[in-house]
Amino acid sequence: MRLPTLALFTGDPAGIGPELVEKLLQEGGWREQAQVRLIAQQGALNAPADVPWHDWAGLKAAPFTRSQAQAPNGQFMLQGLAEGLRLLQSGQAQAFCFAPLNKTALRLGGMQEEDELRWFAQFLNYHGVCGELNVLHRLWTSRVTSHVALREVAELLSPDKVVDAIRMITDSLKQSGVSHPRIAVCGLNPHNGDNGNYGDEEGRIIAPGVAQAARLGYPADGPFPSDTAFVRAVRETDGYDGVVTMYHDQGQIAMKLMGFEQGVTVHGGLPYAITTPAHGTAYDIAGKNLANPQAMRNAFALAARMGATARPKH
C-alpha cells in the first residue's frame, strides 16, 4: 500500500517546534508511516538528507528571537500553515502535522480569528461544523463549547450542538481506524444536576441531544456525571473510545493529567486530516535540547493513519 504524504511544519520558530521535528525525523520510525514534505526554515534543524524540503517564503527566513512571542514568528507561522493547507488542497499531501504554535504570536502576526482552527476554516472557506479533538493513546475527546468564558457555557449549549460534537468525534474516530466507536457524554453540573437540584441542562439539553444523535445513526451513552465519565471511559469493563465534554477544561484537565507530554490535538470536522501536539511551545526550554518528542511522534502517527483513509470533502 502506498504511504500517505504528510506536510510537516515546524510551528513556532521561537519555541521547541524545530527541535521536536528534528528529533522525529532523525529517529527514522516515521518512514514506515508516511512520506514527508518538510515546511521549515533552513538552518533551524538538521533533517535527514533524503527528506524533501518544501520551497516556500519562509525557507530562507532570517533567524528569530528565541522564546519570545513577536510579530515576525507569528507571520512565519501563518505562512507555514498556509503552505500546509495548499499542499492538502492540491493533493500533494493527504494530511498535515505541525509542531506547537503560540497564539499570542499568531495574533501579533495578523491572525484575527479566535484560534488556528477558525483560521483554517476561514482559509479553506469551510462553513461546516469543526472543533478541536484531543487524543491520548486510544481515548479521544470532543467538546460542545471551546474557547469561551466559563460563564457563557450554559447559554451556548443546545441539543444540536451536542449532536455535532458526537458526530464529529465519531466520524474522526472512524477515519483513524475505529470501526464502531463507543462514545460517552458528560453532563454539565455537579452530580449531573442531581435531578434538577443543581441545574437542568442535563435533562433539558444534553439528554435530548444524545437521543437525537442516536436517531441520526450516531449512538452515544450519557449524560454521565463529569467527575466519573473519564473513569468509565478508561475502565476495561466500560471501554469508551471517546468522551464528549461540555466545555474546554472539563476534558482537558483529565487528558493532560493522564499524559501531558503525549496528547495530540486533531482539528476535527475540517475537510482534511490535521494534527498537532496538545502541549504548547515551551519557551522556557527552547534551544536547550530538553523537549520531549513523544506527543510529536503521536501527532505524526495519527496524521498518517488518518491521511491513509482521508476523503476530502468539498
Residues 58-74: tens digit of each pLDDT: 999 999 999 999 999 99
* pLDDT(313) > 60: no
What burial class does residue 216 get, using C-beta atoms within 10 Å of its C-beta: 0-12 exposed, 13-18 middle, 19+ buried? exposed
Q: According to the model, what pLDDT value does residue 137 have?
A: 87
CA quadruple 144, 147, 151, 152: dihedral positive or negative?
A: negative
Domains recognised in the chain with CATH numbers: 1-128+262-314 (3.40.718.10), 138-260 (3.40.718.10)
* pLDDT(119) > 70: yes
Residues 166-219: tens digit of each pLDDT: 999 999 999 999 999 999 999 999 999 999 999 999 999 999 999 999 999 999
Q: According to the model, what pLDDT value does residue 259 have?
A: 83
Residue range 267-292: average pLDDT?
Answer: 96
pTM over 0.95: no
Q: According to the model, what pLDDT value does residue 310 have?
A: 67
How do beta strands 242-245 and 183-186 pair? parallel
Q: According to the model, what pLDDT value does residue 225 have?
A: 96
Indicate the average pLDDT of the chain: 94
> What is the rounded CA–CA span in Å between residue 205 and residue 191?
16
Residue range 266-282: average pLDDT?
Answer: 95
* pLDDT(238) > 80: no
* pLDDT(237) > 70: no
Residues 7-30: tens digit of each pLDDT: 999 999 999 999 999 999 999 999
Confidence label for 46 from pLDDT (cuts 50, 70 and 90): very high
> What is the rounded CA–CA span in Å between residue 226 and residue 187?
6
> What is the rounded CA–CA span in Å between residue 278 and residue 280?
7
% residues pLDDT > 70 (the chain) = 97
Confidence label for 295 from pLDDT (cuts 50, 70 and 90): very high
Q: According to the model, what pLDDT value does residue 20 have?
A: 98
Whose CA is closest to 142, among 122, 165, 119?
A: 165
Residue with cell 500517505: 4
* pLDDT(44) > 50: yes
* pLDDT(314) > 50: no
Q: According to the model, what pLDDT value does residue 236 have?
A: 65
> What is the rounded CA–CA span in Å between residue 25 and residue 191?
46
Assign 3-class secondary structure to the chain.
Answer: CCCCEEEEECCCCCCCHHHHHHHHHHHCHHHHCCEEEEECCCCCCCCCCCCCECCCCCCCCCCCCCCCCCHHHHHHHHHHHHHHHHHHHCCCCCEEEECCCCHHHHHHCCCCCCCHHHHHHHHHCCCCCCEEEEEECCEEEEECCCCCCHHHHHHHCCHHHHHHHHHHHHHHHHHCCCCCCCEEEECCCHHHHCCECCECHHHHHHHHHHHHHHHCCCCCEEEECHHHHHHHHHCCCCCCCEEEECCHHHHHHHHHHHHCCCCEEEEECCCCEEEEECCCCCHHHCCCCCCCCHHHHHHHHHHHHHHHHCCCCC
Residues 129-154: tens digit of each pLDDT: 999 999 998 999 999 999 899 999 99
Residue range 101-118: average pLDDT?
Answer: 95
Q: Which three cell numbers, joined as nine digits, stand for 79? A: 505562512
What burial class does residue 126 get, using C-beta atoms within 10 Å of its C-beta: 0-12 exposed, 13-18 middle, 19+ buried? middle
Q: According to the model, what pLDDT value does residue 217 have?
A: 97
Q: Which three cell numbers, joined as nine digits, stand for 75? A: 507571520
23-24-27 Cα angle (round to 5):
80
